[in-house]
Amino acid sequence: MGRALTNNAMEITMGRTFLRTVTLMLLSLIALYILKQSLQFYTPISIAEAMLHIRTDDILSLGFLLDLAYFFLLTIFLHLLWSLIITVSCSPWFQIIDKDNIRTQIWLIIMFAHIALVLSANAYLYPTSLLGFMRDTPLASPMGLFSLSLLLSFQFIWGVLSSLNRKVLLTLTLTCIALVLFFNLHRILPLHQTATSKPNIFIIGIDGLRPDHLALRDKKNTLTPHLNSFIAQSITYDKTYTPQGRTYVAWMSLLTGQYPVNHGARFNLTPPELVHKALPLVRELKQQNYKTSYAMDERRFNQIDHEYGFENIIGPKIGAADAIIANIADFPLINLFVNTPFSQLLFPYLSLNRAYGKAYDPYLFNEKVVSSLSTTRANFLSVHFCQLHWPFTSKEFIDPKQVNWKGNYNHFMYQGMLEKVDKQFNHFIELLSDRGYLNNAIIYLISDHGEGFMLDRDKLIALSSLSDKQSKLSVNSWGHGNNVLTQEQSDVLMAYRRFSDGKTVQEGKKISGTFSLIDIAPSLFDELNLSLNKSDKQFDGIILPKSTQSKDSNIFERNIFVESSLPVNAINTSFIDDRKVLSETASDYEVRENGRAVLQAERYPSLVSQKQRSVYYQKWQLAMLPDYDSLVLVNTLQKSWQPISSYHGDAPWQKMLAWLCAHYRDDYQFDKHNACKDTSRQVREVSSMLSSP
Amino acid sequence: MDNIKVFGAQFILISIIVLLLASMITPAWKVYQIRLSINSGTPSGDSLAERYLILGDWPASTNGFNIVEHNQYFKITTNKIPAMQNQDGLK
């Protein structure tokens, strides 16, 4: 009877203990949230504000709501599971002790010890987490974490043994072993590629990498020793331009070999129905039995996925919920799960996501990408590293001693991140090499765009005296994709390297000329003897020469087109306030049923009409700006500009204008100032040339 | 005797609870004080550390250099560079 009473009292107390644990857990989370808010002072965005700017229809997008609901429910579930673990840990003590006050004290000790462990682990693994305040304490050290983990693990195992019968225990143990084996299967399977007759093809992109920050342009640039070494052994094409300084558009141009006017992607987040998603390069390589993969560590502005023909996609999930979840997810227990083997299942928006910089592990991303490659077939991998993208966050703060501080936050952080992306690149190449993927390989190393930092050395000089109106033209801007006159936004890296038996088979050299990212696809077609179908659009790019002795006039006499993207004033500043960005751009976007944000199709023509357009030819750039009534001529060697109305030199600007007018002739309202009216004959000639087979 | 033992056990348990709480609250309070010390009152922050914080992360690393302690040497000056008023910079 006494024993029965004791058992009943214990069962009731365990239930109460669980409820008390959940309550205290909730209070702790609220306290942590308040602390986080107080540390930020001014949060760039909040969920409530985001909801104010987003249209009701978009908020009600099923995919968007499901994504948010999944995140919140999973977070709740994990905290409930944790509460259960704490409760189970208390059970052996409750069997020994029958005094309620002592049971409560023991429960509090176990509870607070658990919270201390999770906070310390978060601080140790993710020091840039806002809730990593335990970072300088003894608990947030390997010894402290090990000791506390051991103690609490022992406590939990003791609780399990005392609570469950043997059959349940055996089932649980076998399930745990099976799960561990399943999620670590890739470590057991062979990792080394067997010999293939066809070369692996790797197109490696580094977001925002400016060539003038590499030794390629100035030997004094030493922040990227591994990139410098790689490039020194490659054929580099100088100068190369991106057709548009936006990641998705640049990659589409690269993969199709076409300008944006031809492949249809004129902005990031272009509505998918407006884009020609069939990529002949991917199609042809698949027919040659290549495994085709696309990997990117940030997906807010690049939606290339299986629909573009790739078999294998690596990276965080694509969706509008990304920005919201990444802004609110910084809680210790969530962070601890982000880099676990099952993180892509639990937190698909946070896993492998550079935009969630505090928990992003670049080496884990590399490992995931390389592990996904085929070991028996040749691979075509397009991979893009985004650590250099604003806001330049990472698991550990940059090393400030490596860079000179000159008051420019963006540029300073960018330089600091150069070191990190250089190490990531080197690690990636080493993985490829160690696993045999460079025994027969072609590598293109590119950047998708540059970045404007309003540096003195970047400024264009006005050559002629300007009217009041003309002097207000901003030729230098922050960011990328928003100003064709800011040369550093469009100037990119393009390097080629061929491997055989793990070694480079061509000497490193620089080939001077005028190149574009659109030249890679036709070059691959040529090198691999691939053919376009009759229904495929012809390439806009050229076949890249491999020799400096090339007399191909294409590389010197060709024109290259560069256009701007969506004009957003809120990003042209040293501090990007997400609140202002959302306020300015929300009306241009919609959230589809699948939860993805895209530009509204009905806004598309109007947005296209607001683009800046330009053409490069030899050392000249001619730009047509929708809100500036004169064409602008830039001398890229002198770094100077003037309105065409005051130009009296021998630059072939009329020819360039004809090209510009012909290339963009189908764009809605592109010639607002009638600059093309005097070139109609030349435009017809060029158009006819472009249209002929 | 039993009461003394119980009292002793409770004293130890309560001490452990207080120790655990202090081990978490003390560093949290210290971090909050540090944050107050570098607060400039501007929404975009006027120093490297403050802006990094406003953007959602704490500028911590294991390389031994504490950017917050040296905050006065990392003041942002590029806030004074005007942004474009529209895509072409004309008002």
Tens digits of residue pLDDT in A131-157: 999 999 999 999 999 999 999 999 999
Is A200-316+352-456+482-558 in CATH node 3.40.50.300? Answer: no
The encoded tokens of residue B77 equal 């000056």
Find how far residue A339's CA is from the centre of its chain: 17
* Plot region of A530 (φ>0 → left; ψ -120 to 50 → alpha; else → beta): beta
Query: Quick one: average pLDDT of A223-248?
Result: 97
Report the gap between the CA of B20 and the closest CA in chain A (Å): 6
Establish how many alpha carbons lie within 13 A of residue A506's alpha carbon, considering only the half-sphere containing its beta carbon: 18
Categorize the per-residue pLDDT at A451 as very low, low, confident or very high, splitting at 50, 70 and 90.
very high
User: How many C-beta atoms surround the C-beta of residue A292 within 10 A?
Assistant: 23
Q: At what angle do helices A100-125 and B2-37 cross, to 10 degrees?
A: 30
Q: Residue A18: its pLDDT value, please? A: 94
The mean pLDDT value of chain A amounts to 89
Q: Considering only alpha carbons, which residue of chain A is nearest residue B8?
A: A102
Q: Residue A3: its pLDDT value, please? A: 41
List the single residue in A106, A477, A577 with the smallest CB-CB distance to B84: A477
Tell me the three-class secondary structure of A71-105, residue by residue.
HHHHHHHHHHHHHHHHHHHHHHHHHHCCCHHHHHH
Q: Residue B90: its pLDDT value, please? A: 24
List the domain boundaries for chain B.
1-37, 39-91
Alpha-carbon distance values, A335 to A93, A128, A330 (Å) = 31, 11, 7
List the single residue in A38, A135, A574 with the smallest CB-CB distance to B81: A574
Q: Is the pLDDT of residue B39 over 70?
A: yes
Q: Considering only alpha carbons, which residue of chain B is nearest residue A329?
A: B56
List the single residue in B21, B48, B62 with the smallest CB-CB distance to A127: B62
Q: Residue A286: its pLDDT value, please? A: 97
| B34 and A CB contact within 8 Å | no
Q: Is the pLDDT of residue B83 over 50?
A: no
Q: Residue A185: its pLDDT value, please? A: 65
Mark yes or no for CB contact B56/A330 under 8 Å: yes
Mark yes or no for CB contact B54/A627 under 8 Å: no
Mark yes or no for CB contact B32/A38 under 8 Å: yes
Residue with tokens 């700017």: A53
Categorize the per-residue pLDDT at A1 as very low, low, confident or very high, splitting at 50, 70 and 90.
very low
| A679 and B CB contact within 8 Å | no
Question: Which residues touch A631 (CB under 8 Å, ≥6 apart)?
Answer: A622, A623, A624, A643, A644, A653, A657, A675
Q: Residue B87: its pLDDT value, please? A: 31
Categorize the per-residue pLDDT at A497 as very low, low, confident or very high, splitting at 50, 70 and 90.
very high
Mark yes or no for CB contact A106/B13 under 8 Å: yes
Report the gap between the CA of A449 and the closest CA in chain B (Å): 18
Chain A residues in contact with B12 by the CB 8 A cut-off are none
Interface of A with B in 73-102 (CB under 8 A): 99, 101-102
Q: Residue A43: its pLDDT value, please? A: 58
Categorize the per-residue pLDDT at B1 as very low, low, confident or very high, splitting at 50, 70 and 90.
low
Q: Is the pLDDT of residue A472 over 80?
A: no
The encoded tokens of residue A540 equal 């806009």
Mark yes or no for CB contact A106/B83 under 8 Å: no
pLDDT digits (tens, 9 = 90+) for A190-207: 678 877 889 999 999 999
Q: Is the pLDDT of residue A452 over 90?
A: yes
| A624 and B CB contact within 8 Å | no
Contact A229, A223 (CB under 8 A): no
Q: Considering only alpha carbons, which residue of chain A is nearest residue B48?
A: A409
pLDDT digits (tens, 9 = 90+) for A59-113: 678 999 999 999 999 999 999 999 999 999 999 999 888 888 899 999 999 999 9
Query: Rounded CA gap, B53 and B32, in Å?
Result: 12
Q: Is the pLDDT of residue A546 over 80?
A: yes
Q: Residue A567: its pLDDT value, please? A: 72
pLDDT digits (tens, 9 = 90+) for A367-424: 999 999 999 999 999 999 999 999 899 999 998 888 889 999 999 999 999 999 999 9
The encoded tokens of residue A457 equal 């050395």
Q: Residue B84: its pLDDT value, please? A: 36
List the single residue in A43, A393, A454 with the smallest CB-CB distance to B57: A393
Higher pLDDT, B11 or B91: B11
When scoring A474, A480, A577, A627 by the number of chain B Cβ atoms within 10 A, the one with the most, hence best to mutate, is A474
Contact A37, A95 (CB under 8 A): no
Chain B residues in contact with A125 by the CB 8 A cut-off are none
Query: Quick one: average pLDDT of A6-26?
Result: 78
- Report cis status (omega within 30 of 0) of the bond before A142: no
pLDDT digits (tens, 9 = 90+) for A152-176: 999 999 998 887 777 777 777 788 7
Q: Across chain A, how many H-helices and E-strands are there?
A: 25, 20
Interface of A with B in 402-421 (CB under 8 A): 405-410, 412-413
Mark yes or no for CB contact B78/A410 under 8 Å: yes
Mark yes or no for CB contact B87/A408 under 8 Å: no
List the domain boundaries for chain A.
2-183, 200-316+352-456+482-558
Mark yes or no for CB contact A135/B81 under 8 Å: no
List the single residue in A119, A567, A628 with the smallest CB-CB distance to B90: A628
**Range of lowest pLDDT (A64-68, A684-688, B30-34):** A684-688
Q: Is the pLDDT of residue B68 over 80?
A: yes
